[in-house]
Structure 1
Amino acid sequence: MDIPSPVRVCETVPMACILLDVDGVLHVSGEPIPGAAAAVARLRRQGHALRFVTNNSTRPRAQLAQELRGLGFELEDDEIQTTPRAAARELKGKRVFALVMGAIVPDLEGIELVGEHADAVLLGGCDETTEPNQVFSWMNLGRAFAELQMGADLYCLHKNKWWQTSRGPLLDAGAFVAGLEYATGVDAIVLGKPSPTYFAAALDALAAEPELTWMVTDDIEADVRGAQAFGMRTALVRTGKFRPETLDGSGIVPEIVLSSVAQLPEWLERSL
């Protein structure tokens, strides 16, 4: 396999862990990236500690893990870090008006979900079904606006603009988050990537140091920028939402750019 050269030369140090994005890196709309499952298995054989960090906010962790196993990936449920569970930790015991996909409600354990008089407003992400039509309706967004006007805090599971599907790019809920910020003057607290808290939780789970950790992703803005700000190394893959013009215009320089995650194990063997 022809492994591309790094975008910039980085020191070669032992690997502490690898954080793997899921959508766009391991699969697109449930279709696995060719060679991705074998790459994950090979990374484990090489001795790298892995954690799957996703901004997916439409399905519970157990279902995400089961779906990945169905695609041939080897992982346990507790190796996946999701934004709904981050929300459950952050908002435990609070009254929350939540605009989220119904499937993730069980992962919001400890949060009191209410229709009014909320302590916080929480926005999740969109999926490829028609459910977002109901969740992010004008009436629901209007209720969220009213709660924020009355003093509720604004949280979002992520602020993604869009994500890549088999049908092409689809608008994500970041547009609704930005709209509420614009209308209310309230800044949203992001619970998923690129939140430093989210990255810290991933490293804590593996007892890893940022400088010995790689973030593998298709997202130059949220994941690469956020991981580098946290002191991690980054590998950008040319699958999923990757666009060369976005990389060229971002001013962000990942340590490596690979055609796909399938190339990562061999690159690491050559470089470390």
Structure 2
Amino acid sequence: MSWAKCVRGVMLDISGVLKNGDIAIPGSIEAVKRLRDAGVVVRFVTNETQLTCRMLCEKLIRIGFQLTENEIFSPAPVMVKLLKERKLRPMLLVHPRALPQFEGIDQSNPNCVVVGDATDVFTYEKLNDAFRLLMEQKRASLFSLGRGRYYKEVDGLCMDVGGFTAALEYASGVHAEVVGKPEKTFFATALSDMALSKSEVLMIGDDIVSDVGGAQEFGIRGVLVRTGKFIAEKDENHPLVKPDAIVDDLAQGVDVIISQRMD
């Protein structure tokens, strides 16, 4: 299969590809190991913002995966770097577990809003505070850590950060700058760390827009899995994004990649 030829590196989404909630998707642990054993460079490219990279790494290790923290690329560290470079003071609408990543960032008299997957913290009061800042501050900036519409947990689909960001955009008229997938610069950071060319790398994810569409816009192949939040009637005939391939799960995708390397 042409989509799997000359693959030397794979970017993997985490939620919906490796795991649902705290449960590894069947075959995914072995699939990651098989990629590494075959000499494929693996990076974990995620819009996860409920946990720090260290927490996420520890969680994945607990359920059976082998990885290191520096192999995980998530939006928060990129956001912290951007805040420092632009000398911005954020109002953080993020999950409490994510707050340690923003230690050392001046949050007094905020002049921007940063929105992550805050789950239960997304109260009307908190959203309205963010709205008021955007309306009252001149040239206030709005940042969204990803733009996903929903994701899959063990008990079902969950609304993601994109809907809350859209509400703030609509109410305030301020357009959000996205940090994370599907932005090209986010994929570029992971690719640079892999030290490979775009033609040698593909992305495997369960989000037709952020994972597959974002990868393709960046210039690498995008493969969609039928696990996680995949919905056949919505994703297989998406009006804008056409995956390079659709596979049942990560294990099947890895089977094809490894078979192509052996030919």
Structure 1 residue identity aligned to 2:126: N
Structure 2 residue identity aligned to 1:210: K
| Contact 1:119–1:152, Cα closer than 8 Å, also in 2 | yes
Task: Pick from 145, 165, 169 the counterpart of residue 131 of structure 2.
Answer: 145
Take 1:245 and 1:45, find their aligned partners in 2: how far apart are those partners? 35
Task: Pick from 88, 96, 115 the counterpart of residue 94 of structure 1.
Answer: 88
Shift of 1:123: 0.4
Alignment correspondent of 1:22: 14
> Quick one: structure 1 residues 11 and 17, their matched pair in 2 at CA, closer, same or farther if it must change by over 3 Å?
closer
Take 1:211 and 1:231, find their aligned partners in 2: how far apart are those partners? 8
Take 2:26 and 2:145, find their aligned partners in 1: how far apart are those partners? 29
Shift of 1:259: 0.8
Secondary structure of 2:237's counterpart equals helix
Take 1:35 and 1:249, find their aligned partners in 2: how far apart are those partners? 26
Take 1:11 and 1:219, find their aligned partners in 2: how far apart are those partners? 19
Structure 2 residue identity aligned to 1:205: D
Task: Pick from 160, 171, 175 the counterpart of residue 187 of structure 1.
Answer: 175
Aligned residues between the structures: 256
Shift of 1:267: 0.3
Q: 1:223-238 to 2 correspondence within 5 Å?
A: 223-238=211-226
* Residue 78, structure 1, aligned to residue 67, structure 2: no
* Residue 172, structure 1, aligned to residue 165, structure 2: no
Alignment correspondent of 1:106: 100
Take 1:100 and 1:143, find their aligned partners in 2: how far apart are those partners? 13
Alignment correspondent of 1:3: none
Query: Could you tell me the percent identity over the aligned residues?
Result: 36
Take 1:208 and 1:147, find their aligned partners in 2: how far apart are those partners? 42
Greater share of helix residues, 1 or 2? Answer: 2
Task: Pick from 213, 218, 225 the counterpart of residue 201 of structure 2.
Answer: 213
Shift of 1:110: 4.0
Take 1:55 and 1:267, find their aligned partners in 2: how far apart are those partners? 26
| Contact 2:3–2:245, Cα closer than 8 Å, also in 1 | no
Task: Pick from 39, 44, 47 the counterpart of residue 52 of structure 1.
Answer: 44
Provide TM-score, normalisation by structure 1.
0.90
